Amino acid sequence: MATDSAPLKEPADATPATGTAAVEPLVRFDKVVKRYGDHVVLDELDFTVRRGEHVTLIGPSGSGKTTILRLLMTLEKVSDGVIWVDGSPLSHVRTADGSLKPAGEKQLRESRKKIGMVFQQFNLFPNMKVLQNITEAPVNVLGMAREEAEARAVDLLDLVGLSGKVDAHPSQLSGGQQQRVAIARALAMRPEILLLDEVTSALDPELVAGVLDLLGDIARSTDITMLCVTHEMNFARDVSKKVLMFDAGRVVESGSPEKIFSDPEHERTREFLNAVL
Ligand SMILES: Nc1ncnc2c1ncn2[C@@H]1O[C@H](COP(=O)(O)OP(=O)(O)OP(=O)(O)O)[C@@H](O)[C@H]1O
C-alpha cells in the first residue's frame, strides 16, 4: 500500500470524544514503514505514547530508534502508515473527503513546531552567540517578539545552569555546556514533545551526569512528553515510565523499566541487556 495513492482513514480512537482527551495517546505510530531503497528500517511499527509520559527507546544498533525520532521531528518522511500527534496526522493532511494524503513541506514545518529535539552532536549554530542560538527559532519560526524571546532565553539559560554564558560562542563552551544550550534551545520553542537522541554519547564521561541530572529535573518539574534514545540505563530507570525494546524496526517488548530491566520476557531483550548492562 502506498501512502500517496490509497486513502488512509484515521484509527477509530484517534480523535478523542469529549471528556476522553486525558486517556488519548499523544503520539501514535500506526503501521509505520520506513524504507531506504529496499532496506526496510521500520516494519509496520505500532506504538503509542501518552501525554506527559517519559519513554525510553532501547535496542541494538540499527534497530531504527533514531529513525523514529527523525520521523517525529519530520526530518524524514514515512514510506507507509501514519504518525498521529494529539489526534491529528503528523505525516499526512486530511483532504476534503476525509481521507489522508502525505503532508507537504508547509504542513511539516507547522508540525515541527510542537516537537523539540536534542541531538547527540549538539548541532548549535557555530557563528551565533549562545543567546541567539536560543532565540533564533522562536523569533523566526514562531514569530515571537525578539525581546520576549531573549527574556525567555535568559530564563532558560538560568534553568540549565549557564546564566553567565549569554554572550559566549559555542566554541568557547565545553561539550556539556553546549548540550545544555541545545536543551535550552529545544525548550525555547515550548514543545509538547521533547526528543532526546543519545544526548550524552558525545560527552566526556565527567560531564554526563550533570546533563542527565538536568534532564531528570526537567522531566520531573514539567509536564513535557519525552521520547529518549539512550544507553544510560540508570537514567532510563530513574526518569522513564515505559521502556520500548526495538529490534529490526519493531517493538519486541515494552513495559516499566523495573520489568524490562529485571525480568525481560523476550530473548532479544535479554541478549541486548546482557551486552549493555
Ligand atoms: N539516510 C539513510 N539512508 C540509508 N539508510 C539509512 C539512513 N538513515 C538510517 N539508515 C539505516 O537505517 C537503519 C536504522 O538506523 P537508525 O539510526 O534509526 O538505528 P538506531 O537504532 O538508532 O542505531 P544506533 O543505536 O546505532 O544509533 C540502519 O541500518 C541505518 O543504516
* C-beta separation of 9 from 99 below 8 A: yes
Q: What ipTM did this prediction achieve?
A: 0.96
Instruction: For ligand 1, pick from 33, 67, 75, 247 the residue to mutate: most ligand atoms within 8 Å of CB.
Output: 67
DSSP-based three-state secondary structure for 168: coil
Among protein residues, the one whose CA lies closest to atom 3 of ligand 1? 36
* C-beta separation of 114 from 63 below 8 A: no
Atom of ligand 1 nearest to the CA of 198: 27
Query: Can you read off the three cell numbers belonging to residue 194?
Result: 521533547
CA 265 to CA 273: how far, in whole Å? 12
**pLDDT score recorded for residue 22:** 53
**pLDDT score recorded for residue 98:** 84
Tell me the pTM: 0.89
Question: Where is pLDDT greater, at 250 or 15?
Answer: 250
**pLDDT score recorded for residue 121:** 92
Task: Using the CB atoms, write b or e for 244-257: b if 16+ within 10 Å.
Answer: bbbbebbbbbbbeb
pLDDT in tens, 223-235: 999 999 998 999 9
Q: What is the DSSP secondary structure assignment for residue 164, as one 8-state letter?
A: G
CA 55 to CA 73: how far, in whole Å? 16
> 87 pLDDT band (50/70/90 cuts)?
confident
Among protein residues, the one whose CA lies closest to atom 29 of ligand 1? 62
Among protein residues, the one whose CA lies closest to atom 1 of ligand 1? 36
Q: What is the DSSP secondary structure assignment for residue 37, as one 8-state letter?
A: T
pLDDT in tens, 11-32: 544 444 444 445 679 999 999 9
